[in-house]
Amino acid sequence: MNFYSLNKIAPNVSFKDAVIKGLAPDKGLYFPEKTTPLSKEFLNNIENYSNTEIAFEVIKQFVADEIPEKELKAIIEETLNFDFPIVSIEKNIAALELFHGPTMAFKDVGARFMARCLGYFNKEEKTAKVTVLVATSGDTGGAVASGFLGVEGVDVVILYPSGKVSDVQEKQLTTLGQNITALEVYGTFDDCQAMVKTAFLDEELIATKNLTSANSINVARWLPQMFYFFFAYKQLKSKNKDLIFSVPSGNFGNICAGLMAHKLGLPVKKFIAATNINDIVPNYMETGIYTPKPSKQTISNAMDVGDPSNFVRILEIFENDDSKLKEVLSSYSFSDKETQQAMKEIKEKYHYIADPHGAVGYLGLKKRGMDENEFGIFLETAHPVKFLNVVEPIINETIELPKQIKEVIDKQKVSINISSYEELKQFLVNA
Ligand SMILES: *Cc1c(COP(=O)(O)O)cnc(C)c1O
């Protein structure tokens, strides 16, 4: 399968090259040249397929023959070695829990899949060593570190803002060793991201290093996020209701994957992109004008994004036709106060502990409202334990640490301090 750049200048590339490059040379995001809907036969019988079989059906047209069937199935099986349960909350609302992977956030799925694809390409051809360079405000770094740990031919360098990620998140980034290096930056997340961007544009550096990114602009992180929308459908199909998915959104990679799943034929009536006060997309849906703004800090900090990268892919899915887009997508924004109130309500009324991101998703369903024939699912994108200092005071209860967290919390942190781009460059050149 070939992928084209949404900036339409750079040449089309294979799946492999799209994964290795990350972003096209003209700075556009890659998008598949063609999508073929899945057969009615498959969708009507989805309950008879295992998760691995479903994922294989969903992804195979995008990977095509670039990874042989047997290897691709093995990659999928390793990627998906945890559960994706649906937990009932209210009569017509459930949470799709995406946090049962090693770092307890949905990003595990994309990161594990991408890591294994890169590992496969390297093994096949002994391509030059690839360096994955990534800036994180919290969850991305841990998922990427865990997903890429021990993958041959790939070094991972993670930049994170000193003192600005949670303790759990910091331990997940800094305790793995092997091919993972954590650079602790004296600055903000924006500083980390600016350094990474500078590195990708540094001609001298990219002449000697194969740099790639591992955020959701990479097709191998974005596309596997379609899998769990199908898993949810499999579990809910027998209800015979019109399904509505509410996705807490920041960079809009996750919801963009849901909309791709819909393009492949997944029967969903409506998608809701629920945001915090970083309301670029809700504004667009109302005014038709896309106005990026500097991000504002909130309690759902993995969604503090002022210029969501994947929104251009969503426009492409709907062929830049706003009326088609609005038939399938709605978008609403919520304040921290509303989010805290929702967390409290979900706990008190339904005895469920939502994390701040999931609570924003829940609010999206409430805002739209649902009739008798509809069933709403909000994505629980992270375990509440990752946001202890926000969650515990609201629910007035201590949360027990799951085993994935206990395993890292007492390990020794190892990081390298940097405070300028020059120091980053020096590190990369000498690595
Ligand atoms: C990354 C993240 C999001 C936002 O996902 P996008 O694909 O960037 O829209 C939501 N919740 C959590 C917990 C995250 O880590």
For position 298, which CATH number holds?
Answer: 3.40.50.1100
Is 221's C-beta closer than 6 angstroms to any atom of ligand 1?
no
Q: 107 an active-site residue?
A: yes
Residue 143 CA: nearest ligand 1 atom is 15
Confirm whether 302 is domain-assigned: yes
206 has pLDDT over 90: no
Confirm whether 418 is domain-assigned: no
Which phi and psi (to 5°) does residue 91 adopt? -50, -45
Torsion of CA 390, 135, 114, 387, to 10 degrees: -10
Tell me, in angstroms, the distance from the centre of ligand 1 to residue 173's CA.
17
Confirm whether 345 is domain-assigned: yes
81 has pLDDT over 90: yes
Is 174's C-beta closer than 6 angstroms to any atom of ligand 1?
no
Lowest mean pLDDT among 87-91, 118-122, 373-377: 118-122
Q: Please give the Cα distance from 257 to 301 (Å, whole number).
A: 21
Stretch 247-272: mean pLDDT: 97
Q: Are 104 and 386 in contact (CB under 8 A)?
A: yes
Which phi and psi (to 5°) does residue 375 adopt? -135, 130
Stretch 342-367: mean pLDDT: 97
Q: How many domains does the chain have?
A: 1
Task: State the alpha helices, DSSP H only, in 289-355.
Answer: 311-317, 322-328, 336-350
Q: Are 44 and 15 in contact (CB under 8 A)?
A: no
At 2, is the pLDDT very low, low, confident or very high (cuts 50, 70, 90)? very high
What's the pTM?
Answer: 0.95
Contacts of 79 (CB under 8 A, 6+ apart): 55, 109, 112, 113, 116, 224
Confirm whether 69 is domain-assigned: no
Question: Looking at residue 352, what is its pLDDT?
Answer: 97
Which of 100, 189, 303, 390 has the most ligand 1 atoms within 8 A of CB, as the residue to mutate?
303
127 has pLDDT over 70: no
Tell me, in angstroms, the distance from the centre of ligand 1 to residue 141's CA.
12
Confirm whether 317 is domain-assigned: yes
- Enumerate the β-bridge partners of residue 22: none
Is 97's C-beta closer than 6 angstroms to any atom of ligand 1?
no
365 has pLDDT over 70: yes
107, 234, 270, 386: the catalytic one is 107
Confirm whether 428 is domain-assigned: no
Tell me, in angstroms, the distance from the centre of ligand 1 to residue 65's CA.
31
Question: Looking at residue 239, what is its pLDDT?
Answer: 96
Q: Are 378 and 403 in contact (CB under 8 A)?
A: no
